[in-house]
Amino acid sequence: MHSIELLLDPATDDAVRGQWRRLADAGLPSQARHTGASNAPHVTLVAAETLTDAHDAELEDLFQALPLRVSFGGLVVFGRPPRGLVLARGIAVSEAILRLQRRVHELASGTPALAPHGVASHGLPGDWTPHVTLGSRLTPEELARAVEVLGEEPDPATGSFVAARRWDSTAKSITALGGARGDAATG
Calculate the average pLDDT of the chain: 86
Displacement of CA 58 from its chain's centroid (Å):
21
Reply yes or no on whether the pLDDT at 116 is more than 80.
Answer: no
CA distance 56 to 39: 21
pLDDT tens for each residue of 134-179: 999 999 999 999 999 998 777 778 999 999 999 988 888 899 998 8
Closest CA relative to residue 133, chosen from 13, 42, 2, 48:
42
Local confidence band at 35 (pLDDT 50, 70, 90 cut-offs)? confident
Structural domain spans, the chain: 2-178
pLDDT tens for each residue of 47-95: 888 787 777 889 999 999 899 999 998 999 999 887 889 999 999 989 9
Reply yes or no on whether the pLDDT at 181 is more than 60.
Answer: no
Local confidence band at 108 (pLDDT 50, 70, 90 cut-offs)? confident
CA distances from 92 to 96, 123, 148 (A): 11, 16, 22
Local confidence band at 40 (pLDDT 50, 70, 90 cut-offs)? very high
Reply yes or no on whether the pLDDT at 15 is more than 80.
Answer: yes
Reply yes or no on whether the pLDDT at 114 is more than 80.
Answer: no
In 27-54, which positions are buried (b, 16+ CB within 10 angstroms) versus exposed (e)?
ebbbbbeeeeebebbbbbbbbbeebbee
What average pLDDT score do residues 95-102 get? 92
17: enclosing H helix or E strand: helix 10-25
> Check: CATH 3.90.1140.10 for 2-178?
yes
Most confident stretch, 17-31, 38-52, 70-84? 17-31
For residue 3, the cross-strand partners are 47, 167
What pLDDT sits at residue 152? 77
Closest CA relative to residue 17, chosen from 175, 172, 156:
156
